[in-house]
Structure 1
Amino acid sequence: MTPTNHATLPPEVVRFFEGSAQGLAICRTVFDVVSAFGPFTVRVSKSQVSLRRHRGFAYLWRPGKYVHSTVPAVLALALPCNLGSARFKEVSHPSPSMWMHHLELHDPSMVDAEVAEWLREAFDSAGGKPAA
């Protein structure tokens, strides 16, 4: 896990998006937005990049690595309520207190003011200091 409080992407994040310049640009934009909120940590697994505080609040992954897709990145937001926006490709309710919102992102401009507001809500709901 890599702690961060600025928009510089950790090397493992850059490696995760290797081969997808558009996915990396989207990731940079998400990091730029979230960095304005305060410190968070980053965890990179084989399948996703997770942004965390006390718990995970935002997840980026590349659908083209797993299914036939031209979408460079999907942003999944963990929130305590259903946002009810038609922009989401899918919304799931994996636990009584958690809703996962999946947003397909085709370019960095899709990380607009509305998405920034959702990221802020997810960041705030993840509570506390970044996990160590």
Structure 2
Amino acid sequence: MSAVDDFFRDPPASRQLYEAVARLIDEIGPAERSVTKSQIAFRRVRSFAWVWMPGQYLRGRQTAPLVLSLVFPQRDPSRRWKEIVEPARGRYMHHLELNSSNDLDAEVRGWLRSAWEQAG
């Protein structure tokens, strides 16, 4: 069993969305993957994208199967972001809830490409 298999024991919708995100990133270019207990990170010189399952933290509440988090040097104005935080000066973490593969549209592909390019 791989680390990704272990991470996505349940639910299957989360794994399917992860696979779709990973395919989009692979289409952009190479990126390393790092699996931890809480998330899977994609990186080049720096990490640029993370996926995680909010249901493992927000028990008893309806949550999206997967969240895609991207870091940018500025706040993106889209209303699609669930939350934007600035954990370090000039590093804005943007959190996008993914409920289905339809959420991975051209706008999200553009954000992934931008984050990938900025990660070096």
Q: Does the pair score TM above 0.5?
A: yes
Provide the alpha-carbon RMSD of the alignment.
Answer: 1.3
For CA contacts below 8 A with separation 6 or more, give which structure has more relative contact order.
Answer: 1
Cα deviation for residue 61 of structure 1 reads 0.3
Equivalent residue runs for 1:58-97 within 5 Å: 58-68=49-59, 69-97=62-90
Greater than 6 Å deviation, 4+ residue runs: none
Deviations 1:58-105 (A, max 9, x none): 000001111133310000001111111110000011122211000011
Give unmatched runs, 5+ long, in structure 2.
none
In 1: Cα distance, 2:105 partner to 2:4 partner:
22
- 2:25 counterpart letter in structure 1: V
Matched, 1:31 2:22: yes
Gapped regions of structure 1 (runs ≥ 5):
1-9, 128-132
Show the counterpart of 1:123.
Answer: 116
Task: Read off the aligned partner of 1:105 and give its amino acid letter.
Answer: L
2:10 corresponds to: 19
Match of 2:41 in 1: 50
Structure 1 residue 14 displacement after superposition: 2.6
Distance in 1 of aligned mates of 2:8 and 2:100 = 14
Identity of aligned residues (%): 39
Number of aligned residue pairs: 118
TM-score of the aligned structures, taking structure 2 as reference length: 0.93
Alpha-carbon shift at residue 109 of structure 1 (Å): 1.4
